Amino acid sequence: MTSYTTIAGRATAEIEEKKSRFIASLAHVETEDEALAFLEEIRAANRMARHNVYAYVLREGGAGVQGRVRYSDDGEPQKTAGLPTLEVIQHAGLTDVITVVTRYFGGVLLGTGGLVRAYTQATQAGIEAAELVVVSRCVDIEVRAAYGKYDQLVRIASDCGAKVLDTVYDDAVTLRLRMLDGTQEPLLLKITELERGQERVRVSEPLEAAF
């Protein structure tokens, strides 16, 4: 698996263009069902809005289908709303994300160029408001050792590119580390050397996680 960039949770942003309000709502989604459920949630919350334009990009389309991209102009002139929204998502390199741009009409027609600009800017503002995360194939490593080895363990972890997720203190110290899958062998070797084979180490199965 190669790394990919998505957003954490949800984000919103709003712009105004000639008295029309454009509200961008973004969410991290992993399936088409999740994307459509978010769309319906936004529609329900904005029943008085003129348009709820959307675009989403998924890594997998379900049932073994690789990748899924969808967009809708929701009544706006063709290619003035959904496609610009999609292009901003793709230009930002994001996946597993949906953007719904809600428009409350302000009484002034924007023209095709104005619409493209407004939907583009609203989506860009939404992405700027979001927390971006890089998801990679990782392993979590749990190391239990005597307190006297704690500082050395933390230094070794840092040197080998691992991040400390959690530390538990009781009769010994337990560190939970995360690192990219395939990079753990030097760390495991150094821990073995440090503990002279007395270490208690558990390595998880590979998982997809923010790193």
CA angle (124, 75, 92) in 5-degree steps:
20
| Same domain flag for 143 and 81 | no
Instruction: Summarize pLDDT for 10-31 with one digit per residue, the tens.
Output: 999 999 999 999 999 999 999 9
Residue range of the domain that includes 139: 134-208
CA 85, 86, 92: angle at the middle one, nearest 5?
Answer: 95
Q: Domain check: are 122 and 139 in the same one?
A: no
Are 121 and 142 in a shared domain? no
Considering 77, 95, 129, which residue would you say is the last residue of a domain? 129
Phi, psi dihedral angles at 71 (to 5 degrees) = -155, 160
Residues 83 and 149 both lie in one domain: no
34 shares its domain with 81: yes
- The token pair at 124 is 């860009």
Closest by alpha carbon to 70, among 20, 21, 36?
36
- What residues are paired with 4 via a beta bridge? 135
- CATH number for the domain including 157? 3.30.70.260
pTM exceeds 0.85: no
Give how many domains the chain has, as a whole number.
2
The answer on 109 and 140 residing in a single domain is: no
Q: Tens-of-pLDDT digits for all 211 residues of the chain?
A: 578 999 999 999 999 999 999 999 999 999 999 999 999 999 999 999 999 999 999 987 544 445 789 999 999 999 999 999 999 999 999 999 999 999 999 888 899 999 999 999 999 999 999 999 999 999 999 998 888 888 989 999 999 999 999 999 988 889 999 999 988 999 988 888 887 756 688 899 988 888 7
73 lies in the same domain as 157: no
